[in-house]
Amino acid sequence: MHILITGGTGFVGRALCQTLVNQGHTLYLWTRNPAKAHRHITHTYDQAQQANIHLSDQLETWAKRPIEAVINLAGEPIADQRWTPARKALLVESRVQSTQQLVAFMHTLNPAPKVLLSASAVGFYGAQGATEVKEESPTHAGFTHELCAQWEEAAQAAEALGTRVCRVRIGLVLEQEGGSLAKMLPAFKLGLGGRLGSGEQYMPWIHRQDLLNILLFLLERPHLSGAFNASAPTPVTNAVFTRQLGQALGRPACLPMPAPVLKLIFGEMAQDLLLTGTRMLPARLLSEGFSFQYPTLDQALSAIFTK
């Protein structure tokens, strides 16, 4: 299959590209820095595999290619910096405007791609507390909801082409070499980790391998479309997460970060992202027969730290 990928050099995208190229697919990576991406790919893939990967910072480069599927993973990290007006604008641009540009390009292709898998996030639902959240659950207002709603709307526009659209609402992705876990590890390895605020907020998480498996599952099933919650079936509170992470590392995790300090450091992001939670469940995936390789947090952490 010929697959166009955005965000292919990111934490999830790199692993996905490795999986797809191992399966014999031809990949077209839309990247802001082809030279940097090429250096990474040269390091990661062997010579035969590299022949099936093409990179460009211009979508029009592939206007005549037989693109059958599009996987949209692009987006600036949401929790890397305080949410200043400029940072918020960049978060919107890197998700909403880039997806609009991608769908506009898809309109130029004949035939149109059969499927678009487009990333979204748990933030679509807003703060939900301990309520179990499924794909049809009502949403709560806030910046993350507005951002994800616009992001999904931009992707859904591809449906007008006859393209099957899957909107993948992703939880906290776990693996050692990237994502939120990589940011947590230095403190936790020193025994300086702990819960955020009360620790009662839910953290919908997923092992990266299960996320890759979900993307492949959706790619290969032409009858599936719409929204899918991409998180493990056993979300945990922040207090449980930090305790189990400490146990997996053999370190104490008893130094909490008080809510007022988080709000002082991170401003709106603390209230809208760090101190509120969503008990998101992968209801549609489970109903379609998807099987998680790492359904519980202890299984996921054990696999990550015993390599």
d(CA 54, CA 46): 14
Angle between helices 98-106 and 143-156 (to 10 degrees): 10
Report pLDDT digits (tens) over 87-127: 999 999 999 999 999 999 999 999 999 999 999 999 999 98
Q: Is the pLDDT of residue 307 over 70?
A: no
- Domain range 68-305, CATH class: alpha beta
Cβ neighbors of 246 (< 8 A, separation 6 or more) are 188, 191, 193, 252, 253, 254
Residue 50: its pLDDT value, please? 74
Question: Which pTM value belongs to this model?
Answer: 0.95
Most confident of 17-26, 220-229, 272-281: 220-229
Categorise residue 132: left if φ over 0, alpha if ψ from -120 to 50, beta otherwise. Answer: beta
d(CA 44, CA 62): 23
Report pLDDT digits (tens) over 225-251: 999 999 999 999 999 999 999 999 999
Average pLDDT, the chain: 92
Strands 236-237 and 202-203: antiparallel
Report residue 267's pLDDT band, with 50, 70 and 90 as the boundaries.
confident
Q: Is the pLDDT of residue 11 over 80?
A: yes
Of 275 and 278, the structure prediction assigns the larger pLDDT to: 278
Residue 48: its pLDDT value, please? 64
Contacts of 101-106 with C-beta under 8 Å, sequence gap 24+, read: 101/59, 102/6, 102/30, 102/59, 102/70, 102/72, 103/154, 103/155, 103/157, 103/158, 105/59, 105/60, 105/63, 106/70, 106/158, 106/161, 106/163
Lowest mean pLDDT among 100-104, 163-167, 265-269: 265-269
Angle between helices 238-249 and 297-305 (to 10 degrees): 30
